[in-house]
């Protein structure tokens, strides 16, 4: 019986398993930008202005006419994580309510209060984006002072507070909380938009699931979609599916973005064709002249076939998707392909193929960030295998060519790869983050960007 259950369940699990991708951890540092959001959106000032106008449905305060709200204090916002739910928000502020009292005098009530609410974090059904919505908005009066004569204070103020202020203030101030959330939610609007990788395709940071909240951070799990312009999504080989985990040990309140090696591999697949190269220049970097004469020093048969030196043309075709590995402090780009060497012939004649080599080599990757893009620059690691395919100059020992090919890759091919990689890979549009300041760490199977606020 058990195995039937397993077949059913395990099938379900592997079927729904998301592509390993990226993971975003948001600490309190970034969320405290909500404070800025409150300032930027001038919510409370707008509220105060609104309060000055007659409100439909708002009960007049008994005994006070011509009521106005003014001098709203700059709000202080305190946020805390509520595990499994989202964030609790407390806005501490104050304001002055003015009006004419029923005795005809000018009246001022100075109140200090807290507006508290829970901002529940969910995933919007229609857009798939993270969305905050507020629940349980409540007003707590911290202090109330008035300019009314003290002999009529206790009864009057008590009645005023109990019967009216508690009814009036929530409808006046709770929309401020919602307005802040609208503002914050709008900052996520473009989180999952497709972003171009040059002309080669797009990357879209789609959410894998509803974001989760712990006692010290919010975690957003992405299942990014890497797509070619004509529409085919790039899948990852099954072997590289590893559960993603961010290492602990980052500063309290900090935020990180983790990009898996499998995700980087999928993005590089977009560039596979651009990595093909043909270098016809006779003089490349520090290399000796690329001619049949130079080659003959390694393979004497070449001199027999071409007694008069001819320029060499080397064609590289990458015939498997490139693969990124990230291990123990270093990251490599593995390339599999063919190198075919040709001898140029006279004008109008196509170059003649000398031989073809199957090669597997790796490049060391250096990561950096510029703008909202992850950049890679490479240098040659080593040649892992070299084997001879078709040859028009007979048999020879391809091992003899290792040095020649290594020099060629380093001087002629690596610049081509680095040129292609200039395009950069888009990073998700996260509120308030300045990626240029991010610190990069290499961890097992992933690259971590320790994010800083801009």
Ligand X SMILES: *[C@@H]1O[C@H](CO)[C@@H](O)[C@H](O)[C@H]1NC(C)=O
Residue nearest ligand X by beta-carbon distance = 114
- Interface characters, 257-296, with ligand X (x: CB under 6 A): ----------------------------------------
Distance of alpha carbon 136 from alpha carbon 117, whole angstroms? 5
HSE-up of 175 (CA within 13 Å, CB side)?
13
Q: Which is nearer to ligand X, 90 or 453 (CB)?
A: 90
CA 132-135-140 angle, to 5 degrees, is 125
Among 88, 114, 127, 391, binds ligand X (CB under 6 A): 114
Distance of alpha carbon 137 from alpha carbon 49, whole angstroms? 21
Minimum distance from residue 90 beta carbon to ligand X (Å)? 4
Minimum distance from residue 78 beta carbon to ligand X (Å)? 4
Q: Which is nearer to ligand X, 33 or 114 (CB)?
A: 114
Distance of alpha carbon 66 from alpha carbon 100, whole angstroms? 6
Minimum distance from residue 71 beta carbon to ligand X (Å)? 19
Which among 450, 18, 395 is positioned nearest to 208, based on CA atoms?
18
Among 65, 66, 80, 140, binds ligand X (CB under 6 A): 140
Q: Which is nearer to ligand X, 89 or 445 (CB)?
A: 89
3-state percent helix, strand, coil for the chain, nearest multiple of 5: 30, 40, 30
Determine the distance from the C-alpha atom of residue 48 to the mean position of all C-alpha atoms in its chain, rounded to a whole number. Answer: 38
Question: Residue 122 contacts by C-beta under 8 Å, 6 or more apart in sequence?
Answer: 130, 131, 132, 133, 210
User: Is 142 one of the binding residues for ligand X (CB under 6 A)?
Assistant: yes
Whether residue 341 contacts residue 396, with contact meaning beta carbons closer than 8 Å, is answered with: no
Minimum distance from residue 116 beta carbon to ligand X (Å)? 8
3-state secondary structure of 414: helix
Q: Name the DSSP letter for residue 259.
A: E
Which among 189, 271, 187 is positioned nearest to 226, based on CA atoms?
271
Q: Name the DSSP letter for residue 413.
A: I
- Interface characters, 65-104, with ligand X (x: CB under 6 A): -------------x-----------x-x------------
Minimum distance from residue 31 beta carbon to ligand X (Å)? 15
Q: Which is nearer to ligand X, 114 or 127 (CB)?
A: 114
Q: Name the DSSP letter for residue 409.
A: I
Q: Which is nearer to ligand X, 114 or 338 (CB)?
A: 114
Q: Which is nearer to ligand X, 90 or 129 (CB)?
A: 90
Count residues binding ligand X (CB under 6 A). 6
Q: Which is nearer to ligand X, 17 or 138 (CB)?
A: 138
Residue 435 phi, psi dihedral angles, 5° rounding: -60, -25
State which of positions 163-182 bind ligand X (CB under 6 A): none
Q: Which is nearer to ligand X, 114 or 362 (CB)?
A: 114
Which among 38, 27, 23, 22 is positioned nearest to 453, based on CA atoms?
27
Q: Which is nearer to ligand X, 177 or 363 (CB)?
A: 177
Distance of alpha carbon 167 from alpha carbon 55, whole angstroms? 13
Q: Please count the helices (runs of H) and the strands (runs of E) in the chain.
A: 11, 21
Whether residue 449 contacts residue 440, with contact meaning beta carbons closer than 8 Å, is answered with: yes
Minimum distance from residue 329 beta carbon to ligand X (Å)? 44
Interface positions with ligand X (CB under 6 A): 78, 90, 92, 114, 140, 142
């Amino acid at each position: 019986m058990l195995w039937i259950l397993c077949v059913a369940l395990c099938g379900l699990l592997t079927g729904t398993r998301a592509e390993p991708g990226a993971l975003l951890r948001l600490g309190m540092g970034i969320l405290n930008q909500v404070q800025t959001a409150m300032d930027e959106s001038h919510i409370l000032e707008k509220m105060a202005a609104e309060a000055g106008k007659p409100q439909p449905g708002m009960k007049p305060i008994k005994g006070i006419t011509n009521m106005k709200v003014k001098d709203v204090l700059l709000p202080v916002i305190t946020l805390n994580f509520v595990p499994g739910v989202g964030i609790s928000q407390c806005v501490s502020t104050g304001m002055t309510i003015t009006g004419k009292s029923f005795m005809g005098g000018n009246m001022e009530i100075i109140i200090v209060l807290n507006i508290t609410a829970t901002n529940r974090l969910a995933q919007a059904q229609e857009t798939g984006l993270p969305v905050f919505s507020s629940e349980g908005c409540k007003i707590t009066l911290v202090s109330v002072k008035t300019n009314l004569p003290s002999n009529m204070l206790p009864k009057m103020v008590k009645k005023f507070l109990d019967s009216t202020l508690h009814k009036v203030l929530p409808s006046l101030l709770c929309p401020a909380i919602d307005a802040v959330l609208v503002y914050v939610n709008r900052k996520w609007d473009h989180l999952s938009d497709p972003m171009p990788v040059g002309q080669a395709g797009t990357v879209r940071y789609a959410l894998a699931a509803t974001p989760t909240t712990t006692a010290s951070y919010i975690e957003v799990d992405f299942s990014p979609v890497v797509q070619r312009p004509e529409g085919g999504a790039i899948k990852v080989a099954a072997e590289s599916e590893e559960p993603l985990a961010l290492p602990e040990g980052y500063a309290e309140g900090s935020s990180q973005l983790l990009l898996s090696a499998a995700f980087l591999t999928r993005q590089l697949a977009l560039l596979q064709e651009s990595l093909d190269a043909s270098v016809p220049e006779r003089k490349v970097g520090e290399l000796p002249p690329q001619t049949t004469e130079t080659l003959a020093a390694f393979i004497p048969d070449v001199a027999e076939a071409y007694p008069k030196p001819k320029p060499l043309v080397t064609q590289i075709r990458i015939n498997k998707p490139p693969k990124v590995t990230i291990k123990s402090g270093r990251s490599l780009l593995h390339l599999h392909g063919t190198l075919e060497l040709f001898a140029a012939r006279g004008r109008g004649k196509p170059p003649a193929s000398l031989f073809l080599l199957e090669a597997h080599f790796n490049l060391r990757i250096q990561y950096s960030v510029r703008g909202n893009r992850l950049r890679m620059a490479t240098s040659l690691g080593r040649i892992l295998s070299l084997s001879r395919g078709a040859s028009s100059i007979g048999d020879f020992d391809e091992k003899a060519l290792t040095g020649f090919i290594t020099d060629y890759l380093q001087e002629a091919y690596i610049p081509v790869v680095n040129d292609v990689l200039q395009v950069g890979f888009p990073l998700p549009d996260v509120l308030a983050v300045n990626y240029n300041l991010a610190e990069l760490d290499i961890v097992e199977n992933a690259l971590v960007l320790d994010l800083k606020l801009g």
